[in-house]
Amino acid sequence: MTYEGESANWKVVYRIIQDENEVKRQLIEIQSIGGIQKGLITFKQTNPRGSGCEHNFDYDMKVDKEHIPGCLDGPRPDNKDDSFKVFIAWDDQEEKIILKVK
């Protein structure tokens, strides 16, 4: 499954490989689309079951996309209407991004 979403400054692609019972692999790609060149970034995700994660990393646009691990604690529904929220914070700013099935 692939989820995608954009805000004014960020594009997020969240790829999930899963079966009915287990998430096998997760990968998140984060890309600046609003001109942010460098900075300390915080990525936050809250899962429907209440768990979540937070990743802090130095973003440098020279590498084009930053790859970080996901933190889903269970399989996502196989549903085209399924979506979830993530947050990206930097330089005292924060944007919410709604990721939807592509």
Of the chain, the percentage scoring pLDDT greater than 90 comes to 48
The stretch 8-18 carries a mean pLDDT of 94
Q: How far is CA 100 from CA 1, 39, 61, in A?
A: 10, 26, 24
The stretch 15-28 carries a mean pLDDT of 90
Q: What is the pLDDT of residue 102?
A: 84
Contact call for residues 56 and 39 (beta carbons, < 8 A)? no
Q: What is the pLDDT of residue 52?
A: 82
How far apart (Å, rounded) are the C-alpha atoms in residues 41 and 43? Answer: 6
User: Which pTM value belongs to this model?
Assistant: 0.88
